[in-house]
Amino acid sequence: MRNSIIFQLNQQVYQLSGEQVFMTVADFLRYQAGLTGTKIVCAEGDCGACSILVARFNKGKLTHHRVINSCITFMYLLDGHHIITVEGLKESDELHPVQAAMVNTHGAQCGYCTPGFICALAGVADKAKREKKKLTPVKVKNALTGNLCRCTGYDSIIKAGCKTDLKMTKPLKNKYDTKELVKLLEKNSKKSVEIRYKNKVIFLPTTLAEAVKIKNEHSDLRIISGATDLGVLSNKGKTQLIKLMSLHLIEELYQMKNMKNTILIGAKNSLDEVEKITQKDFPEFSKLLHIFASPQIKNNGTLVGNALNASPIADTIPFLKVSQAQIVLQSVLGERTLNMNDFYLAGYKQLDIKPNEIVTKIILPKTKKSFKLYKISARRDLDISAVTMAVSYQLEKKTISNFAIAFGGVAASVIRLPEIEKMLEGKTFTSSLFKQVAETVSTQLKPLSDVRGSDVYRQLVCKNLVLKFCDEVHAEEGWKRNEVLV
């Protein structure tokens, strides 16, 4: 057992215990380490000013550096990591190529968001260099979805990304000597961590067996994954993080597998990894994950975390429901596997999970069914949805089978519409049929009004999404029609 966390910040190795372990990374950097280049603006992972680059040690090797939001990440989650901040990118007196490019294109105006953009750009440049690819405007934009700038209108920043001299870009992995960190970790990596400060405690077990045991002993323990939601709630005073366990030192929970009939996704696999592994078998889901959130969030957030959050606007749940995904729970008593549709109970955030259980993976069964997923929000990227809709279906010529439909953002939980599903089974796919479905949907759903849209708007959108689905299927199947339904 050890009672400290170990990490390296730019060139310096740290071993921390006590209060600092429980700080957000941004607070630690700014107010403890004196690295004020990292900025805190929104403190909810939505603006990217706090972006930093982190790499995890995995069996003595450093993973690639990925960009994350330091304002909603806690220090204990970076045990075993190497951190690079904006201050750490310069090469003695030479600017990093992305820094040089930003200077030359006027990519910085007021300068407050700039360090975050620099880190995000350094991350994508590192990746492009590694994969021997060019930095195109599309790539650069995708890498910067999680960074807000109010001054530039982004044009000069996109140019900076595209004009980055990749020849001069050195791999981030080789930038710092990490021997001392590796040595320290080798000595300590098998040891689980338990750190207490005042009333707070964090457990970082290194095996699943141990994690399950701890969970069994502490039923009030919360599991913290990427902290992309808990970090926000904690910062905004909406929850207190007292007794926590992170599973990030358990290697087997990172084991994502693409098998013959299923895709297995481990509890610690990030949404970014899930986006990639589902590209071929679940392209619609992969596409949804593309606009799901920023790179910073997707690098830290996990599919299991999103599923367990159980919010009615959690974007993955409608898909997990209509795809008949399964969830695997582990306790000291053994393993349970549940269909997602049974895992979610009626009511706000109600789940079939026992206090001593830990979710270890999600299983996506491969299928011949087709999927269509829709996410509607005020802004296309990096926004919480007003409405989501997921449909799965099979067509034999024009005959419908296995139709499933789920909506998010219209009730206390993500809901399926079993009556409609039953009614459509075996029916012929026609516009008039789906017009009728659309009407039924808009009368059955009773959404609320809030900041993301009024009840009326949500109803209209749900109805129109059904019509859109019908039109898209017509187009894809090459069924000729004069006009779309809207």
Partner 1 sequence: MSVGVDTKHDSAVAHVTGESIFIDDRPALRGELFVGIVGAPIASGTLLGVDTNQALKHPDCVAVYTAKDLAHKKWGPVMHDQPILVEKEIGHMGEPVALIASKRRESVEAIIKLVKVKTKSTPAIFTIQEAKQKGSILYKAQTPFVQGNFDKAFQNAPLKIRGTFSCGGQEHFYMESQAAVAYPLENGQIEVHSSSQHPSETQRVVAEALGLRLNQVVCIVKRMGGGFGGKESQAAPIAAYAGLVAAKQNRAARCILTKDQDMKMTGKRHPFENEYEVGFDHDGKILALKVMLQSDGGAYLDLSASILERAMFHMDGIYYLENVHIDGVCYKTNNHSNTAFRGFGGPQGTMTMECIMEEIAQVLKKDAAQIRKVNLYQNDKVRTPYGQLVENNMLPAIYQQLIKSSDYKKRLKEITQFNKKRTGIVRGISITGTKFGIAFTARFLNQGNALVNLHLDGTVQVSTGATEMGQGVNTKIQQVVAYDLGLNLNQVQVMPTSTEKNHNTSPTAASSGADINCAAALEASQKIKARLTALAKEIFAGKNPSALEEFQVGEGMLDEKIVFKDGKITDVKTKKSLALLDVIKTAYFNRISMGAYAFFKTKNLGFDKATVQGRAFNYYTQGMAVSEVSIDEYTGEVKVLRSDILMDLGRPLNPGIDRGQVIGAFVQAQGWVTTENLYYDKERHLVSHSPTTYKIPNVQDIPRILKVDFIENNDVKNNVFGSKAVGEPPFLLGSSVWTAVKHALSFRAGEKLVEITSPATSEVVLRELIKLKS
Question: At its nearest, how many Å lie between partner 1 and the CB of residue 123?
Answer: 15
Shortest separation between residue 204's beta carbon and partner 1, angstroms = 23
* Comparison of 102 and 325: residue with beta carbon closer to partner 1: 102
What whole-number distance in Å separates Cα of residue 73 and Cα of residue 228? Answer: 7
CB of 441 to partner 1, least distance (A): 13
Question: Alpha-carbon distance 125 to 129, whole Å?
Answer: 6
CB of 105 to partner 1, least distance (A): 8
Residue carrying the six token digits 């440049």: 125
CA gap 3, 203 in Å, rounded: 10
Residue 351's nearest CA partner among 371, 366, 329 is 329
Query: SS3 for 147?
Result: coil
Toward partner 1, which CB reaches closer, 256 or 406? Answer: 406
Q: How far is the CB of 374 from partner 1 (least distance, A)?
A: 8
CA distance 313 to 307: 11
Toward partner 1, which CB reaches closer, 89 or 414?
89
Q: What is the 3-state secondary structure (H, E, C) of 64-78?
A: CCEEEEHHHCEHHHH
User: Would you say 142 or 436 has its CB closer to partner 1?
Assistant: 142
User: Which helix or strand (DSSP H or E) is residue 170 part of?
Assistant: none
DSSP H helical segments within 225-316, as ranges?
230-235, 271-277, 283-292, 295-300, 303-309
C-beta of 453: minimal distance to partner 1 in Å?
5
The residue whose two tokens read 């619609």 is 284
Alpha-carbon torsion angle 95, 97, 102, 105, nearest 10: 120
Q: Which is nearer to partner 1, 128 or 362 (CB)?
A: 128
Nearer to partner 1, 219 or 482 (CB): 482
Sign of the CA dihedral 278, 280, 281, 282?
positive
Q: How far apart are CA 63 and CA 262, in angstroms?
A: 26
Distance in Å, CB of 134 to partner 1, minimum: 18
Tell me how far, at minimum, the Cβ of 415 lies from partner 1, in Å.
Answer: 20
Which C-beta is closer to partner 1: that of 155 or that of 252?
155
What 429-432 contacts at long range (C-beta under 8 Å, 24+ apart), as own/partner pairs, is: 429/395, 429/398, 429/399, 429/400, 429/470, 429/473, 430/398, 431/470, 431/474, 431/481, 431/485
450, amino acid identity: D
Query: Nearest approach, Cβ of 12 to partner 1 (angstroms)?
Result: 16
Nearest to 123 by CA among 182, 163, 64: 64
Strand partners, 202: 195, 244
Nearer to partner 1, 94 or 335 (CB): 94
Cα separation of the two ends of the chain = 63
Min dist. Cβ of residue 194 to partner 1 (A): 23
Nearer to partner 1 among residue 48 and residue 266 (C-beta): 48
Instruction: Give the Cα separation of 222 and 254 in Å (integer).
Output: 20
For partner 1, the closer CB: 110 or 332: 110
Helix, strand, coil tally for the chain in percent (to 5): 40, 25, 40
Q: How far is the CB of 382 from partner 1 (least distance, A)?
A: 6
